[in-house]
Amino acid sequence: MHKETDFVVIGSGIAGLRAAIGLSQSKGQVVVLTKDRVSESNTEYAQGGVAVVLSDDDQVDLHLTDTLEAGAGLCDESAVRVLVEEGPKYITELINWGTSFDTQEGKLLFTKEAAHSRHRILHAHGDSTGREIVRGLLAHARTIPQITITPHAITLDLILEANQVVGVKYLDIESNELCYLYARSIVLATGGAGQIYAHTTNPEVATGDGMGMAYRAGARMCDMEFMQFHPTALNVVGAPNFLLSEAMRGEGGYLINSDGKRFMDKYDKREELAPRDIVSRAIVSEIRHTHSNQVYLDVTHLKSTYLRERFPKIFLTCLKYNYDITKDFIPVSPAAHYIMGGIRTDSFGRTSLAGLYAAGEVASTGVHGANRLASNSLLEGLVFGARAAEAALEDNLDKIKIKPEETVGLTSDSYQLDKNIRLQISEIMWRYVGIIRSANRLKTAISQLAELAEQPLNLVSRNYVEVAQMIARAAHYREESRGGHYREDYPARNDEEWRCHTIDQLRKDLSKELLN
């Protein structure tokens, strides 16, 4: 089926919803396509909160410095400046639209997370910040008549005409129909790719589809080697890798090894609040030394009533798996959590392809550098979702309608991610492209992925393989250690040769983009 509209947004997380609201200001029609239920996204599961300078003892320049520091020399400072300076305006707007952050005596409450020099993280319902943000944004979007949200619509591919993205091809799962939707501009807000790894905090939808599609269309991809592994995901047989928020360490939680001893002081003077890459590697090292397969998060010294109120979702989820956080040590291990790389954009979400904009975790704005500061990604989705919409309105491209060949005789099964491919790739990635990398392991991954890529694959599976290959290739290319990328064969940071972004673009060799 062929349809047209003014703007298409792919994804209904924080970036997509904010972009859709922005685009609706033109009075043009905005269609949001989303893969699953409307609320199913990484945003929905965000716990710790959103970092923003709104407290009296905080300053924009401190947030800037903390973000640059965490980014390990690879942040684009101008993009970070946009984030920290515009953040307060967009969060205030969110509050005015009805999102309710936790307060005490009428004043916003701020918590602290690793590598923040101030208490600046707003949270909602204790540990359900993302759910509250999605609720507020959705409620607001639903009051705008130009916005139509279509759930269970899997976008498969971008439609290109003379180097301009003019539409998308998607499968409407409910009607089992393949649709071609044309528009002036497309905003990709498909989120991250944690599901490329066997162990991840991300929900099922986070398979990196947008990155795969954009790459195939020829967009510039950037810094795909930088994957952030969250140190504390629940590690219990039969349970998902449910996140145990960094805020638990921010509020005083400890990490202990299987001998019952705290260990972080051996690795970093910031102890439990060192940056995530350091804590994750410390856990891997501690697990090796103690011949165990996990460490423990201990919050039992904190008041039990406080823990239940501050972390109600975590409390109930752990209880479901027979762990009472007020009494028990919780088994944890690291899991893939957030990808810093993505589709290269300018500070208004413009990609290297006309008509295509990207915002949120799918994009690489340069805000996070080699390592994202905790709780900066919700803010990024909000600020850059709004800016991508502004850019699309300003560029005001003409609609170009072409008629690609119809694909006939397909069932929705032809568009599901192949289970076998997913299993094999996620194991390869965890084993060979994980927290500790080396040339040998990466070469093994690259050759095994190439074999899998040779098989006939549907578009969804092709996107998945493509993303895995991009991550492995970039990790092999960068011969140094920095932020979320650690090479045991090149353990030092090498600013002389590697203070650059890595660029991957279809049919070209990887290249370096030097920072200013």
CB of 60 to ligand SIN, least distance (A): 19
Q: Contact between 67 and ligand FAD (CB under 6 A)?
A: no
Whole-number Å distance between alpha carbons of 120 and 63:
9
Cβ-Cβ contacts under 8 Å for 73 (sequence gap 6 or more) = 369, 370, 482, 493, 495, 499, 515
Among 24, 111, 155, 235, binds ligand FAD (CB under 6 A): 155
CB of 225 to ligand FAD, least distance (A): 18
Q: Contact between 247 and ligand SIN (CB under 6 A)?
A: yes
Whole-number Å distance between alpha carbons of 80 and 284:
31
Q: Contact between 76 and ligand FAD (CB under 6 A)?
A: no
Query: Is 235 in a helix, a strand, or coil?
Result: coil
Q: Contact between 381 and ligand FAD (CB under 6 A)?
A: yes
Question: Which one of the listed residues 81, 276, 441, 482 is annotated catalytic?
Answer: 276
Q: Which does 333 bind (CB under 5 to 8 A by kind): ligand FAD, ligand SIN, none?
A: none
Which of these segments, 28-36, 67-75, 287-295, 464-472, binds ligand FAD (CB under 6 A)?
Answer: 28-36
Among 12, 34, 43, 47, binds ligand SIN (CB under 6 A): 47
Whole-number Å distance between alpha carbons of 252 and 144:
43
Segment 321-340, which members bind ligand SIN (CB under 6 A)?
A: 338
* Per-residue contact string for residues 161-200; x = within reach of ligand FAD by CB under 6 A: ----------------------------xxxx--------
Nearer to ligand FAD, 16 or 349 (CB): 16
Encoded tokens for 39 = 């609320």
Computed from CA positions of residues 247, 268, 117, 50, in that sequence, does the dihedral angle turn out positive or negative?
negative
Whole-number Å distance between alpha carbons of 304 and 384:
39
Which of these segments, 171-179, 291-299, 374-382, 390-398, binds ligand SIN (CB under 6 A)?
Answer: 374-382
- From the list 378, 494, 497, the residue with the least C-alpha distance to 41 is 378
Distance of alpha carbon 205 from its chain centroid, rounded? Answer: 11
Q: Contact between 42 and ligand SIN (CB under 6 A)?
A: no
Which of these segments, 32-40, 244-252, 298-306, 440-448, binds ligand SIN (CB under 6 A)?
Answer: 244-252
Residue 330: burial class (beta carbons within 10 Å; 0-12, 13-18, 19+)? buried
The CA-atom distances, in angstroms, between 240 and each of 119, 332, 362, 463 are 30, 11, 23, 24
Long-range own/partner contacts, residues 491-497 (CB < 8 A, 24 or more apart): 493/72, 493/73, 495/73
Q: Furthest-apart CA pair in the chain: how many Å?
A: 65
Q: Contact between 48 and ligand SIN (CB under 6 A)?
A: yes
Nearer to ligand FAD, 41 or 481 (CB): 41
Q: Which does 15 bind (CB under 5 to 8 A by kind): ligand SIN, ligand FAD, none?
A: ligand FAD
Q: Contact between 40 and ligand FAD (CB under 6 A)?
A: yes
Q: Contact between 41 and ligand FAD (CB under 6 A)?
A: yes
Q: Which does 130 bind (CB under 5 to 8 A by kind): ligand SIN, ligand FAD, none?
A: ligand FAD
Q: Contact between 245 and ligand SIN (CB under 6 A)?
A: yes
Whether 482 is catalytic = no
Segment 417-456, which members bind ligand FAD (CB under 6 A)?
A: none
Looking up tokens 């916003």 gives 108
Which of these segments, 31-39, 68-76, 372-380, 501-509, binds ligand SIN (CB under 6 A)?
Answer: 372-380
Nearer to ligand FAD, 10 or 367 (CB): 10
Cβ-Cβ contacts under 8 Å for 254 (sequence gap 6 or more) = 262, 264, 272, 297, 298, 299, 301
Query: Is 169 in a helix, a strand, or coil?
Result: strand
Contact in structure between 178 and 408 (CB atoms under 8 Å): no
Computed from CA positions of residues 317, 323, 328, 330, in that sequence, does the dihedral angle turn out positive or negative?
negative
Which of these segments, 192-200, 241-249, 279-287, 344-352, binds ligand SIN (CB under 6 A)?
Answer: 241-249
Q: Contact between 378 and ligand FAD (CB under 6 A)?
A: yes
Q: Contact between 136 and ligand FAD (CB under 6 A)?
A: no
* 216: DSSP letter: H
CB of 144 to ligand FAD, least distance (A): 18
* 361: DSSP letter: G
Q: Contact between 235 and ligand FAD (CB under 6 A)?
A: no
Whole-number Å distance between alpha carbons of 127 and 125:
6
CB of 85 to ligand SIN, least distance (A): 20
Whole-number Å distance between alpha carbons of 51 and 88:
9
- From the list 124, 94, 99, the residue with the least C-alpha distance to 109 is 124
By annotation, the residues acting in catalysis are 276
Q: Which residues bind to ligand SIN, rule: CB under 6 A? A: 47-48, 245-247, 338, 374-375, 377
Q: Which residues bind to ligand FAD, rule: CB under 6 A? A: 10-16, 33-36, 40-43, 45-50, 129-130, 153-155, 189-192, 201-202, 205-206, 209, 243, 338, 360-362, 375-378, 381
